[in-house]
Chains A and B, each alone.
Chain A
């Protein structure tokens, strides 16, 4: 059960995971559009301003394409195995499943209101806002839940890279960290451009 949750790629990869993964990305974009939840870099989850559906679709797809392309390039350079492009892209697409769940978070106003509350209380930015205890508890619970989803996402991305690239030991860990940081940087840049376009 734990293996299926954290390393489903032992059983699913290639075309099958690509189809499921792309559907996951499209549903994440659709739900994010209705809940105003976006992913302005590889791992960030934020409440978005009102933006068209195309923005959410392009952002989700670009996050996936950037990380998959970087990991594919690393794999063909560093791995002695014959790495298939469909495995890298398919497993990385499926690895983004936790953020399908995260895209529902924006349906609750509590996190957004809690953010505004903190900004006013600590820095006098925005407008004063009154929050009752239940809203604060809900907002903190949702933030912790999002953090757990992010950890799940990173573990899935790591295992997707490990299975599809067949790397091991320190080489695997160092290359994953390098690719991961580069992807965060590039997806952040792309999202900034996207917001300006839309």
Chain B
């Protein structure tokens, strides 16, 4: 099963942090309090969009063909993503 990484608290909707990391091989566990990396704060479909965009060498035309959407639709999706990332960056800094 492909589990979804929760990024928001289901109780109060605040941003979640990483408290524990575990090595699958030797079972070493590290405890602490770490912020999620910016890209992991995006929704799964937004992360997939970024991966596909990179695999298309940053070509919106190729992306549009892959997703079977028009060029301006894909450009609008990218612009929305850029706005969201900028907002997240501003929140961090």
Contact = CB atoms under 8 A, between A and B. Distances in A.
B10 to A, nearest CB: 29
- Size category of the B interface is under 10
A164 B79 contact: no
Contacts of B70: 9-14, 17, 87, 163
Given A80-B79, A81-B79, A166 B68 contact: no
A95 to B, nearest CB: 13
Nearest to A165: B72
Contacts of A91: 72
Contacts, number: 39
B86 to A, nearest CB: 11
Given A163-B76, A166-B76, A166-B79, A84 B69 contact: no
Most buried by A among B70, B71, B72, B75: B72
B68 A84 contact: no
B73 interface: yes
Interface of A: 9-14, 17, 80-82, 84, 87, 91, 163-164, 166
